[in-house]
Amino acid sequence: MIVKDKEVMIKLIVIDEFLHNKKVLIDMLRENLEINFPDRRNFEGYAEDSYEKMKAYLLSAEAILIGAFEEDKLIGFLWALGYAPFVLVKKVKSLINI
């Protein structure tokens, strides 16, 4: 996929990639909270807790994580927590052609 003249790869993030990108994911979670709650501060602990919860959901196969990568660098993500993650994975895979 090309975005603003840059190649961006969209793919499911497996647990190894999730663990490898811990700092980036926590930074993204914190930034999202800062944008959505501009009157509040000190989101670092909450972002770290959210990361740990995401990890538990991924390990238990209750959620999936989809990442956007530019030159092997994670630049964004979406995650889905649902009742039927395997059905969701099948649908997502068909949408992103993997």
pLDDT at 96 over 80: no
Query: How much is the pLDDT for 3?
Result: 58
Taking the C-alpha atoms of residue 29 and residue 15, their distance in angstroms, rounded to an integer, is 17
Average pLDDT over residues 76-85: 76
Q: What is the pLDDT of residues 21-70, one digit of tens each?
A: 999 999 999 999 999 888 888 888 999 999 999 999 999 888 889 999 99
What is the set of domains in the chain, with CATH numbers?
Answer: 2-96 (3.40.630.30)
DSSP code of residue 42: -
For 72: left if phi > 0, alpha if psi spans -120 to 50, otherwise beta; the answer is left
**Taking 90 as the threshold, does the pLDDT of residue 98 lie above it?**
no
Best CA proximity match to 14, nearest among 97, 91, 89, 75: 89
- Beta bridge pairs of residue 3: 6
How crowded is residue 34: how many other Cβ atoms within 10 Å of its Cβ?
13
